Structure 1
Amino acid sequence: MKHLTIIVPNGQSNLSTIASIAGACDVFSRANMYWKDAGKGELFNIELAGISEKADYYGGLITLTPQVHISEIAKTDLIVIPATTIRSYEDAVHGNKLFIDWIGQQYKNGAEIASICSGAFMLASTGLLDGKSCSTHWCVADVFRNSFPNVHLEADKLITDGHGIYTNGGGYSFLNLLIYLVEKYYDRQAAIFCAKVFQIEIDRQSQSAFTIFTGQKLHGDEMIKEAQTYIEDKLDEKISIENLSSRFAVGRRNFDRRFIKATGNTPVEYTQRVKIESAKKALETTRKTINEVMYEVGYSDVKAFREVFKKITGISPLEYKAKYNKDGVV
C-alpha cells in the first residue's frame, strides 16, 4: 500500500486551508473505497501530519489534530500541501523549517508532491521548483514571481505536472487537481467516479476565465509604471509600442527588456491583457454587443479580437458573455 501525507500547518492558515485538507482526505478516501469495491484493495494509507499536537483555525473555531508528527513518517509516496496565507519566502520559512526540510528530503527519497493554491509558496521555499513550472492563485501571482524569480510561474494554468511535482491554481480549483491525481494514481474510471460523486468538472485545464488582471505593479521601475498607466488610460486606442518607447526616450529593445523584467509580460502582451480585462467587465455587466465592446477596447478586426480574447481567457467573447452575463443580449 502506498502512503499519502496531507500536511496540517499550524498558523498562516485560513478556512481554505481546512477545505483543501478535508477535500484531499475526502476525495482520496472515496477513491480508496471505489478500488476496494472493485476488488483491488485500498491504494493509499492516508495520514494527516503536522508539527504540533493540534492546529487551530479561524480564531479557534475549528481545530485539527494531526495523526502523526512529520518526523514519524520515514517514507511517503505523495505529499499534499494545502492552501495557506503565506505570501513570501520570508513567510514560508518562518515557523515552517521542519516542513520545508522534511518535504525536500522526502522528494529526494522518491516522494511526489502536490501543492494546492498558495501552498506553492511553501513548496517553492524548498528550492524544488527552481527552474521548473508551477501555478498558484492568480491574485498572488505577482508576489510569487517577486519572491521566487527562479520559478517559471504559469498562472493561467489550472494544473502543472512535471518531475513528480504537481501544482494548481487558486481557490476550490484544488478539487480538479485531486481528480487529476486520482486518475494518475488509480485509473480513469476511478477519476470519473469521484468526479461524479463530488460533482467536479473533469479535465478542466485553465483558470484563465477566472483571472482578474490588475496589472503587475509590484516592481521598482518608475518608467515602466508610467508606461503601464499610459496603456491603461488609452484603452480605446491602438497603441504603437515603438511610439510608446519613444515617449520615454528608450530604444525598443531596451524598453521591451525592462518591461518584461518588471511585469513578466512583453508590452504587447500587457496591452492585450489590459484591453481584454476591460472587455470582460463590459461583457459581464452591460448589454453591449461583442462588436461594441471590441471597438471600445481599440480593436477593429473581429477575428483578431476573438483570437486574443480566447488566448487570454480560454473561451470566446460570445461564450464568456453567455457564461457571466445572465441578462446580456448578444
Structure 2
Amino acid sequence: MKHVSILPLYDATLTSIDSSYQLFSRVNDFMKYQGKPPFYKIEVTGLTKSTKFSNGLYKISTQMTVNQIKKTDVIVLPLLCGNFKKAIQENKKYTDWLIAQYHSGAEIVCLCVGSFYLASTGLLNNKKCAVHWAAKNEFKEMFPNVKIIDDSIITDERGIYTCGGGYSYLNLLLYIFEKHLGREISVLASKMFEIDIERKSQNPYAIFIGQKKHGDELVLKAQELIENNPTETLTVDSICEKFNVGRRTFERRFKKHTGNSILEYIQRVKVEFAKKYLETGRKTVNEIIYETGYNDIDAFRKIFKRITDLSPIDYRKKYSV
C-alpha cells in the first residue's frame, strides 16, 4: 500500500485538494470491486490540525501533520492561486520535510502552478517542469535553472511529476494511476470521471504572450513593431534594416531575451491574429490567412497546426462563439 500525503498549502485551491483526495479514494474503490486490497492510504497532511483557505471562507481539517509522518510514498502539491511569491514564503515550513521525503524515495505530484512552490525548494533545478502558458514568463524569471516545458501537459523526471494548465492536473492523476496500477485502472478512472485521457498538449489552449521583462529597449521595439502590424509582410531582414542592426547579432539577442527567434515571433503573432478572427469572425479561413499577410495558404496552415496542434478549421469548430 502506498501512503499519499496531500499538502494543504497556503493559497491552494480547495478544489484541487478535494479532487485529488476523491480520485485516489475512488481508485481504492475500483480495487475493492475487483476483489483486491486498497492500493492507497490517503491523508491530508498539514502543518496544523486545520487550515483556512480563501481568506477564511473555507477550512479543512487535516488528518495528520507533517511532524507525524516519518515516511510517505506520494506527496501531492495542490494548485496555487494568488501571489506566488507570498505563497512561497508562507509554505516554507513544509520545505525541509518535503526535501527529506523526496530523498527518502517519495514521489512528488505537483498540480499546475503548485510548481512555483516546488521550484522554490530547489528540487526542480535542471529538471523539466510543465508550466501553464500564462505563467511561463513569470516562472522563467523567478526560476531560470528549471527547464520549462510549455507545450506538453505532463512531465515525468526522477520521481517528480508536473503538469501545466488549470484542470490538467486531472490528466496528471490519471498518469500516476497508470504508472502505479496499469493502463486498465487509468482508463476506468477516465471513464468514471469523464476525463479526456488523450489530452497531452497545452497548445490548443495557449494564448501567445511575448516575454518583455528583459530590459532590452531595441528588442522591445522590435516586439512592438511585430505585434502592432500583424497583417504586414514583415521579414527578419526588413526588421533588422529598420533598426539598423546586423541580422546575425540581433537574432541571437532577440532569441536570448524572448525565447523565440524573430521569425517564430512573427509567426506566433500572426497565428494569434488569425485565432481571434476564427473565433469571432465570419470570413472564410482563406480570407483570414490572406489578411495575416500570407499568400501561401498551405504554408500558413502548417504553421498554424504546428503552433496550436489544430488546423484552422478545427480551431474554428472548437472555439467559435
Q: Is TM > 0.5 for Structure 1 vs Structure 2? A: yes
Amino acid at match of 2:157: G
In the alignment, what sits opposite 1:5? 5
In the alignment, what sits opposite 2:105? 110
Question: Are residues 1:40 and 2:36 paired?
Answer: yes
8 Å Cα contact 2:290-2:297 kept in structure 1: no
Question: Are residues 1:94 and 2:86 paired?
Answer: no
* Correspondences of 1:1-330 after superposition (within 5 Å): 1-10=1-10, 12-13=11-12, 17-85=13-81, 88=84, 90-325=85-320
Distance in 1 (alpha carbons) for counterparts of 2:240 and 2:37: 64
Distance in 2 (alpha carbons) for counterparts of 1:193 and 1:292: 44
- State TM-score, norm by structure 1: 0.93
- Provide the secondary structure at the position in 2 that maps to 1:223: helix
Give the CA deviation at 1:146: 0.3
Amino acid at match of 2:291: E
Distance in 1 (alpha carbons) for counterparts of 2:252 and 2:145: 17
Q: 1:100 to 1:256 in 2, by over 3 A?
A: farther
- 1:262-301 CA-to-partner distances (Å, cap 9, x unmatched) read 2121212211111111111110001111111111112221
8 Å Cα contact 1:4-1:47 kept in structure 2: yes
Distance in 2 (alpha carbons) for counterparts of 1:251 and 1:54: 61
Give the CA deviation at 1:86: 5.9
Distance in 1 (alpha carbons) for counterparts of 2:295 and 2:131: 34
Q: Which moved more, 1:148-157 or 1:258-267?
A: 258-267
- Provide the secondary structure at the position in 2 that maps to 1:94: helix
Amino acid at match of 2:78: P
Distance in 2 (alpha carbons) for counterparts of 1:9 and 1:206: 27
Unaligned residue ranges in structure 1 (runs of 5+): none
Q: 1:92 to 1:254 in 2, by over 3 A?
A: farther
8 Å Cα contact 1:4-1:45 kept in structure 2: yes
Amino acid at match of 2:160: I
8 Å Cα contact 1:87-1:121 kept in structure 2: no
- Provide the secondary structure at the position in 1 that maps to 2:215: coil
RMSD: 1.6
Give the CA deviation at 1:92: 4.8
Amino acid at match of 1:230: L
After superposing on structure 2, the runs of 4+ consecutive aligned residues of structure 1 that deviate more than 3 Å are 90-93
Distance in 2 (alpha carbons) for counterparts of 1:38 and 1:151: 41
Distance in 1 (alpha carbons) for counterparts of 2:198 and 2:97: 31
8 Å Cα contact 1:176-1:202 kept in structure 2: yes
Distance in 1 (alpha carbons) for counterparts of 2:87 and 2:247: 38
8 Å Cα contact 1:87-1:144 kept in structure 2: no
Give the CA deviation at 1:182: 1.2
- Provide the secondary structure at the position in 1 that maps to 2:32: helix
- State TM-score, norm by structure 2: 0.95
Distance in 2 (alpha carbons) for counterparts of 1:297 and 1:71: 59
Give the CA deviation at 1:136: 2.2
Distance in 2 (alpha carbons) for counterparts of 1:167 and 1:232: 32
- Provide the secondary structure at the position in 1 that maps to 2:31: helix
Give the CA deviation at 1:208: 1.1
Q: Percent identity?
A: 46
8 Å Cα contact 2:79-2:112 kept in structure 1: yes
Distance in 2 (alpha carbons) for counterparts of 1:87 and 1:254: 37
- Provide the secondary structure at the position in 2 that maps to 1:209: coil
Give the CA deviation at 1:243: 2.6
Amino acid at match of 1:68: M
Give the CA deviation at 1:179: 1.2
- Provide the secondary structure at the position in 2 that maps to 1:63: strand
